[in-house]
Chain A
Amino acid sequence: MHFEFDESLALIRSSAREFARREILPQATEIDRSGQIPRNILQGLAELGMMGVAIPEAWGGAGATPIAYVAAMIEIAKACASTAVTMAVNNMVGEVLLRFGSEAQKERYLSKLASGQVLAASFALSEPESGSDPGSMRTTARREGKGWLIEGQKQWITSGDFASFFIVWARTGGNDPALQGPRGISCFIVESQAPGLSIGHHERKMGLRGSSTVALHFEKVWVPEDALLGELHGGFKIAMSALDGGRIGIAAQAIGIAEAALEEAIEYAKERHAFGRPIADYQAIQWMIADSRTELDAATLLAYRAAFLKTQGRPFTREAAMAKLFATEAAWRVVDRALQIHGGYGYVAEYDVERHYRDVRVTRIYEGTSEIQRLVIARSLLRGQI
């Protein structure tokens, strides 16, 4: 047991930190306001290997570990949560391709994504009426010639309006009673140019405004046979395993946002005076700082523990859910306290903490709500895995 960063880990962290400070942070307010992340930021992240941190170098990634991914994600999210979620989704799509893709699919999609030849890819699982319960999805894919015809709608698709391709889940069981619910779902790669695929509603969100979130409409979108990713009817498993890894990323994102807020709150508390003293001298403020620091450290340890298990190739479903649940709920409390420490200034857009407060809220919702994380943890406990 040790809690040190080895050299390669420290290197990735410092390169992420440098880039975040130099290139992203100065733009963060503008990204939030304009709703767009400048291309050069995404390009720069890809050049540093951040769009495929745990993807081998042979496929254009950084060839690092899930632990390094956590370290890098925290640094990027500290500067800008919108940029961080774009990075998180690219990494998650990359890992799905790495794990389940054919050589040809890796060649065609993974290399380009991890190396930054394409700026983004999307993960299209949720639907207007199926979020926590993806087994109930309605989008279908049926055989048509030497391929598949996809029909349906997807919702909350991060980076959807500029993604080059999508990983799309659809029902392939038809009316077969054995292939209903989670069983009859398959996974496809759909290119953004595919006829019949259109971008729907652009969501207006409380936070993460720099990251695009759209609906996707599939009207008789034909994809060839080799668009199938993994096994036929094996899509649900792919989604679940991708989300296990994704949850570690969102835990790290939440930690990053909260670290930024706490840092700002500490600075503010040292400068702001009330009743003749800096407010940092008051226990009311000190207690908030102590609780925030403690909860953030606990969250960070949970995230690294899950990433460590993933790195070791061991089961980590429960640990990833714990990391995501604890980190996102803690981050929310930390950012709330940071805003409180800022007083009225915390409520105005002039201070970054107002943005952090809006940004952090979604981490308790996407890639599995807190409620889903608790279900995952409880199921694993009740199965006797103590």
Chain B
Amino acid sequence: MHFELTEEQRMIQSMARDFAEREVAPKARELDRTGRWPNELVKRMGELGLMGLVVPEEYGGSGADTVSYALAMEEISRACASTGVIMSVQNSLVCEPLLRFGNEEQKRRFLVPLARGEKLGCFGLTEPASGSDAAHMATIAEDRGEHFILNGAKNWITNGPHADLIIVFAAFDPSLGAKGTVALIVERGTPGFTQAPPDEKMGIHAAHSCTVFFDNVKVPRENMLGEKGMGFKIAMITLDGGRIGIAAQAIGIARAAFEKALEYAKVRKAFGEVIANKQAIQFMLADMATELDAARLLTLRAAWMKDKGMRHTRESSMAKLFASEAATRITHKAIQIHGGYGYSTEYDVERHYRDARITEIYEGTSEIQRLVIATQTLKS
């Protein structure tokens, strides 16, 4: 039991914090308001090594550990949740499965430019009619030997409108269920692969997502990730890691809201004194800080287990469940402390509140996390 960060972890944390405070935070409000894609920030994250944090240097990444990744995600998301999720998708959902399941050629061809941030990727699992129940996918990859013919649609694809490639999951034999699935890498510009206009959302406005369509898309066999039949498994293992990223994102959003509420409480006066002197406000702040710390400890524990090569499915789910629900409670209280100003877009907490909400839904809803935790707990 040791709760001290290593030198390297602290360095990455402070690098991410500096970048987030100097370059991301000043733009966050504008990005939220306009929904503009932060191309310049995406580029900068690539330059700083934030797009392939845990990818070894030989494949263009930073060679950091998952603990550092979680710390960096928190810092970026504290400044701007949209920028945070763009980073999270690239790291957790695109680079990680390529690193873990890709062959040498795929790593050279796809992973290196992705980890360097020269290219952008996205992850296609969810479909219009299948979210939590991901194994029942309607997207079909017909095996023609030399290539697959891909037909179907995927939705809520974060980074989708801008991505250079997608890792897409499809069924080659629906009768086999999860075992009849395959993961394919499809590059932008492949005939028949098209994107709908970006989704309109409650929050994370600058992180564009869209539905993508596959209409008789010919995918060469060398673009198959891992073995045939492993699609669903790759998706699940990838999400175990992704959940650590989203937990960290939720913590970043919640921390931003908490810090702003704390500052506001110190200056806002009511009944002749600053509201921070009132227990009603103090108790909210105490609960917010306690839950933030608990969420961070759960997240860093899951990240540490992943770094150790330990099975961390349950721990990632716990981190994601707790952090995302805590983020909703914390941003809610931050608005409450701000009163009417909290409801106005003039103050950031209104944005944090909208941004936090999605963390309870994507990369496995809270309900899916509970299912995972309960199943694993009842098994052990």
Contact = CB atoms under 8 A, between A and B. Distances in A.
Nearest to B5: A1
B374 A287 contact: yes
B87 interface: no
- Scoring B5, B265, B282 by chain A CB atoms within 10 A of each residue's CB, the highest score goes to B282
A290 B370 contact: yes
A67 interface: yes
A104 interface: no
A286 B370 contact: yes
Interface residue tally on B, bucketed by range = 35 or more
Interface residue tally on A, bucketed by range = 35 or more
Contact of A293 (B259, B300, B377): B377
B294 A9 contact: no
Interface in B19-41: none
B1 A294 contact: no
B30 to A, nearest CB: 26
A297 B1 contact: no
A266 B372 CA distance: 15
B289 A298 contact: no
B4 interface: yes
A148 to B, nearest CB: 37
Given A322-B289, A382-B282, A301 B321 contact: no
B203 to A, nearest CB: 24
Interface string B338-380: 0000000000000000000000000000000111111101100
B290 A377 contact: yes
Contact of B266 (A3, A4, A269, A382): A382
A73 interface: no
B309 to A, nearest CB: 13
A144 B259 CA distance: 54
Contacts of B262: 381-382, 386
A298 B377 contact: no
A280 B297 CA distance: 28
Contacts of B235: none
Contacts of A377: 285-286, 289-290
Contact of B286 (A2, A295, A325): A325
A319 B3 CA distance: 12
B298 A297 contact: yes
Interface string A1-19: 1111100010000000000
A373 B287 CA distance: 10
Interface stretch (A176-184, A193-201, A302-310): A302-310
Contacts of B273: none
Nearest to A262: B377
A290 B294 contact: no
Nearest to B293: A322
A336 to B, nearest CB: 17
A8 to B, nearest CB: 12
- Scoring B9, B294, B300, B371 by chain A CB atoms within 10 A of each residue's CB, the highest score goes to B294
B169 interface: no
**A-B CB proximity, top 6 nearest:** A286-B374, A378-B282, A301-B297, A377-B286, A290-B373, A290-B370
24 contacts: A1-B2, A1-B300, A3-B301, A280-B378, A289-B378, A290-B321, A290-B369, A290-B373, A290-B377, A297-B298, A297-B301, A298-B297, A301-B298, A302-B293, A302-B294, A305-B297, A307-B1, A308-B3, A371-B283, A374-B283, A377-B286, A381-B262, A382-B276, A386-B262
Given A297-B315, A305-B3, A381-B286, 16 more contacts: A1-B300, A3-B301, A286-B370, A286-B374, A289-B374, A289-B378, A297-B298, A298-B298, A298-B322, A307-B1, A322-B293, A371-B283, A373-B286, A374-B286, A378-B283, A382-B266
Interface of A: 1-5, 9, 67, 266, 269-270, 280, 283, 286-287, 289-291, 293-295, 297-299, 301-302, 304-305, 307-309, 319, 322, 325-326, 371, 373-375, 377-379, 381-382, 386
